[in-house]
A and B are shown apart, each in its own frame.
Chain A
């Protein structure tokens, strides 16, 4: 085994709660078409949504931007993550559509409870969004004795699902329909070039070439 395989296995297990590996592989021709659509959409100035309403897309985009915010570098918003997710929900991740529907309802409810008067998550201030999102992830600091009970209708899968999809949409090779203009790769310091020549980084710049250990040429 190698760490790619372990990463792949972990990845499949991570998806296990939302879509089985078998289901994913069964739907892979659909996935190809999704990727192609998303690629087109990501390149387009006015991409068409196929699953989300404009309102839902605005909320999902705001949520994805909490996972990977725009800072001094591009975030989920600039990478067109919401369009990757929209196409994914039409095709290879369509099984997770109910997770989004329930999840968005729960977000709306939490927003209303925490900040009465704020009409929707995307309309909240950045500070309010952080509070709401912290609540959603179940990682918030709670007063002594408070339970970690999720609000009714709150799906424990929503955050994990959204996180995996956002990471995919942010960092996948643009051929896969996300990572618009290599926004994600730029943000993590990955040169988008297709091929490279050494030296690759800091430590191999002045490497003198491999030398045997002095005085140790004998076979062990």
Chain B
């Protein structure tokens, strides 16, 4: 693997310091360094390589090898601002070079036109803080295409009648269909729906020196040991390092953005692995730390000049958290599907992307057929609740169901609500003595109602597909988030948004935010593609501003 070809001293004032090396940070690092800028990326987690990845569930499940470690970065949770928050692992995000793109499922759906202007179409919804984006699908389309071709996305253009317009086909064909895809397609078609090959950020063919997927099956939750999953680690970060202008610096816990007396950002303050403090100086700062840590960092950067937190004159930093709603149904089939082989998903459907208003539901969703269990997690959580828990009966149902089970996962909209938020816990501290991340969240009733509806459709599809037995997970209020969206939303009005359409904060001219926090709506459940398209677009906008002298001036 490549090694950093350039290193900077913290006292070197580079052009950009980027906090976070995940889906957005990786793209920004590659684009800005390619455009001639000197870039330092500060990553909280380790710099793991493909050789470090393993199929060992004890490492990944128990050790949080790739994800946030709550023993040192505790998280607290409460449902409403009136409740007392309690320590709970309420948030899961990637903590290694490449961020969550290392362990994600790699479902890569574009947002549709409706996602950018749904408020105009629907109007206000009680209990929701709903807004349109300041950009449209057509503004983002060239960047979606760029993601597909640069990162590497497999798919079949034109296979969904619900897809938005696109300027180019996918760069490579879809991944092989799985048993779950075949029976899902069968069930959907019987009911008049339109299933299609899932667009996935996993290589179906060798590309750019990377191997194609070997269908090992340890995909969701795990790092890809052959680099076929199109994480930032495997795709854009090597390109950034190759420019000779970008340093990826791991094990750096950034806890403050420093500003000068003119209210301009001068760099990022971080603890290194030995807990020494450094200030990495930069002409401009970009936060791509994810929808939880970006707002936390802004709130931690409060000062006399910015008493409510940096870039928070709107009071919107951390607000409007949207984790996406979801529902899950299981089916067991007569013959072996063997869905433990290959990536989790091979077929999806978007017939419910925009629900008929007559249903009385706002928003919509997409369904996929998947199998994302390891053998251990299947034995613990993949059997119906009435299955035996031990003995020959347990072993028998385990052996029968493991190769024959699939899941239909319903992904849907989350409505933004101001009280759903990330903030600083006033009592709980992290291992460095800084306030812990506090999550406040309660699903909007519409979202729960929609998931009940969606779950019923999933059960109908399982019937039509010929499932021998089927059941669903109960729909309940969520207390655990991995899609961390909307918490520093983009908008034209500085009173109701944190960044403008260029990802520049309304309050600090040389401070930019780009990650899940930038999203104004939650789409239908698969945000990473849009986060990366925004990052490519942001890099273009930031480059233009920098070249015009509008950032450092």
Are A and B associated in one complex? yes
Q: When chains A and B are docked, how far (Å) is the Cα of A220 from the Cα of B407? A: 27
* Residues of chain A within 8 A of B273, CB atoms compared: none
Q: When chains A and B are docked, how far (Å) is the Cα of A14 from the Cα of B178? A: 31
Q: When chains A and B are docked, how far (Å) is the Cα of A32 from the Cα of B162? A: 47
B373 proximal to A (CB < 8 A): yes
Given A71-B392, A190-B402: A22 and B216 interface contact (C-beta under 8 Å) = no
Q: When chains A and B are docked, how far (Å) is the Cα of A197 from the Cα of B402? A: 19
| A201 nearest CB neighbor, chain B only | B338
A68 proximal to B (CB < 8 A): yes
Given A5-B482, A137-B389: A176 and B64 interface contact (C-beta under 8 Å) = no
Determine if B177 and A207 form an interchain contact, defined as CB atoms under 8 angstroms apart. yes
Determine if A210 and B182 form an interchain contact, defined as CB atoms under 8 angstroms apart. no
Determine if A66 and B74 form an interchain contact, defined as CB atoms under 8 angstroms apart. no
* Residues of chain B within 8 A of A2, CB atoms compared: 105, 220, 326, 372, 409, 482
Which of A98-106, A146-154, A160-168 faces chain B? A160-168
Determine if A203 and B335 form an interchain contact, defined as CB atoms under 8 angstroms apart. yes
* Residues of chain A within 8 A of B181, CB atoms compared: 204
| B370 nearest CB neighbor, chain A only | A3
**Which of A5, A197, A201 interacts with B403 by CB under 8 Å?**
A201
A194 proximal to B (CB < 8 A): yes
Given contacts A3-B407, A71-B396, A218-B161, 15 further A-B contacts (CB under 8 A): A11-B380, A24-B62, A24-B63, A31-B63, A164-B380, A167-B376, A168-B57, A171-B374, A173-B55, A189-B402, A194-B216, A200-B342, A201-B179, A201-B335, A217-B161
Determine if A9 and B174 form an interchain contact, defined as CB atoms under 8 angstroms apart. no
B138 proximal to A (CB < 8 A): no
Determine if B380 and A10 form an interchain contact, defined as CB atoms under 8 angstroms apart. yes
Determine if B376 and A195 form an interchain contact, defined as CB atoms under 8 angstroms apart. no
* Residues of chain B within 8 A of A21, CB atoms compared: 70, 89
Identify 10 residue pairs between A and B in the complex whose beta-carbon atoms are under 8 Å apart, listed by A's number: A7-B381, A11-B61, A32-B63, A69-B391, A75-B395, A137-B390, A196-B342, A200-B176, A218-B161, A219-B161
**Which of A6, A35, A73, A168 interacts with B473 by CB under 8 Å?**
A6
| B217 nearest CB neighbor, chain A only | A196
Q: When chains A and B are docked, how far (Å) is the Cα of A10 from the Cα of B72? A: 21
Determine if A195 and B391 form an interchain contact, defined as CB atoms under 8 angstroms apart. no
CB-contacts of A1-46 with B (<8 A): 1-12, 14, 21-26, 28, 31-32, 35
Determine if A31 and B215 form an interchain contact, defined as CB atoms under 8 angstroms apart. no
**Which of A184, A187, A203 interacts with B182 by CB under 8 Å?**
A203
As a 0/1 sequence over residues 65 to 89 of chain A, the CB contacts with chain B under 8 angstroms (1 = contact) are: 0111101010100000000000000
B205 proximal to A (CB < 8 A): no
As a 0/1 sequence over residues 188 to 230 of chain B, the CB contacts with chain A under 8 angstroms (1 = contact) are: 0100001011000000000000000011111011000000000
CB-contacts of B41-80 with A (<8 A): 54-59, 61-65, 69-72, 74
- Residue from A5, A24, A67 whose CB has the most chain B CB atoms within 10 Å: A5
* Residues of chain A within 8 A of B439, CB atoms compared: none
Determine if B403 and A4 form an interchain contact, defined as CB atoms under 8 angstroms apart. no
Q: When chains A and B are docked, how far (Å) is the Cα of A148 from the Cα of B220? A: 41
Determine if A28 and B179 form an interchain contact, defined as CB atoms under 8 angstroms apart. no
Q: When chains A and B are docked, how far (Å) is the Cα of A171 from the Cα of B379? A: 8
**Which of B161, B174, B177, B395 interacts with A69 by CB under 8 Å?**
B395
> What count of chain B residues pass the 8 Å CB interface test?
88
A181 proximal to B (CB < 8 A): no
Q: When chains A and B are docked, how far (Å) is the Cα of A35 from the Cα of B54? A: 13
- Residue from A8, A172, A188 whose CB has the most chain B CB atoms within 10 Å: A8
**Which of A9, A35, A189, A200 interacts with B58 by CB under 8 Å?**
A35
**Which of B69, B183, B390 interacts with A67 by CB under 8 Å?**
B390
A116 proximal to B (CB < 8 A): no
Determine if B59 and A31 form an interchain contact, defined as CB atoms under 8 angstroms apart. yes
Determine if B473 and A188 form an interchain contact, defined as CB atoms under 8 angstroms apart. no
3 smallest beta-carbon distances between A and B, as pairs: A28-B63, A202-B335, A201-B338
B92 proximal to A (CB < 8 A): yes
* Residues of chain A within 8 A of B392, CB atoms compared: 69, 71
Q: When chains A and B are docked, how far (Å) is the Cα of A198 from the Cα of B181? A: 13
* Residues of chain A within 8 A of B377, CB atoms compared: 4, 7-8, 11
B133 proximal to A (CB < 8 A): no
* Residues of chain B within 8 A of A12, CB atoms compared: 89
A92 proximal to B (CB < 8 A): yes
Given A8-B221, A175-B56: A212 and B159 interface contact (C-beta under 8 Å) = yes
Determine if B178 and A200 form an interchain contact, defined as CB atoms under 8 angstroms apart. yes
Determine if A177 and B63 form an interchain contact, defined as CB atoms under 8 angstroms apart. no
**Which of B196, B339, B379 interacts with A167 by CB under 8 Å?**
B379
B286 proximal to A (CB < 8 A): no
B399 proximal to A (CB < 8 A): yes
Determine if B402 and A198 form an interchain contact, defined as CB atoms under 8 angstroms apart. no
As a 0/1 sequence over residues 352 to 384 of chain B, the CB contacts with chain A under 8 angstroms (1 = contact) are: 000000000000000000101111110111100
A55 proximal to B (CB < 8 A): no
A216 proximal to B (CB < 8 A): yes
A158 proximal to B (CB < 8 A): no
B317 proximal to A (CB < 8 A): no
Given A5-B480, A31-B62, A171-B376: A200 and B179 interface contact (C-beta under 8 Å) = yes
Q: When chains A and B are docked, how far (Å) is the Cα of A25 from the Cα of B67? A: 10
B169 shortest CB reach to chain A, Å: 14
B398 proximal to A (CB < 8 A): yes
CB-contacts of B458-512 with A (<8 A): 473, 478, 480-483
Q: When chains A and B are docked, how far (Å) is the Cα of A140 from the Cα of B215? A: 44
Determine if B483 and A173 form an interchain contact, defined as CB atoms under 8 angstroms apart. no
A23 shortest CB reach to chain B, Å: 7
**Which of B215, B323, B340, B391 interacts with A190 by CB under 8 Å?**
B340
Determine if A28 and B62 form an interchain contact, defined as CB atoms under 8 angstroms apart. yes
A52 proximal to B (CB < 8 A): no
Given A12-B89, A28-B64: A1 and B56 interface contact (C-beta under 8 Å) = no
B337 proximal to A (CB < 8 A): yes
Q: When chains A and B are docked, how far (Å) is the Cα of A137 from the Cα of B375? A: 23
Determine if A4 and B220 form an interchain contact, defined as CB atoms under 8 angstroms apart. yes
B336 proximal to A (CB < 8 A): yes
Given A2-B326, A4-B372, A204-B181: A92 and B62 interface contact (C-beta under 8 Å) = yes
* Residues of chain B within 8 A of A71, CB atoms compared: 392, 395-396
B341 proximal to A (CB < 8 A): yes
Determine if A173 and B56 form an interchain contact, defined as CB atoms under 8 angstroms apart. yes
Determine if A176 and B390 form an interchain contact, defined as CB atoms under 8 angstroms apart. no
**Which of A188, A204, A207 interacts with B399 by CB under 8 Å?**
A188
* Residues of chain B within 8 A of A219, CB atoms compared: 161-163
* Residues of chain B within 8 A of A75, CB atoms compared: 395
* Residues of chain A within 8 A of B403, CB atoms compared: 188-190, 201
| B189 nearest CB neighbor, chain A only | A213
B27 proximal to A (CB < 8 A): no
Q: When chains A and B are docked, how far (Å) is the Cα of A210 from the Cα of B196? A: 8
B413 proximal to A (CB < 8 A): no
B453 proximal to A (CB < 8 A): no
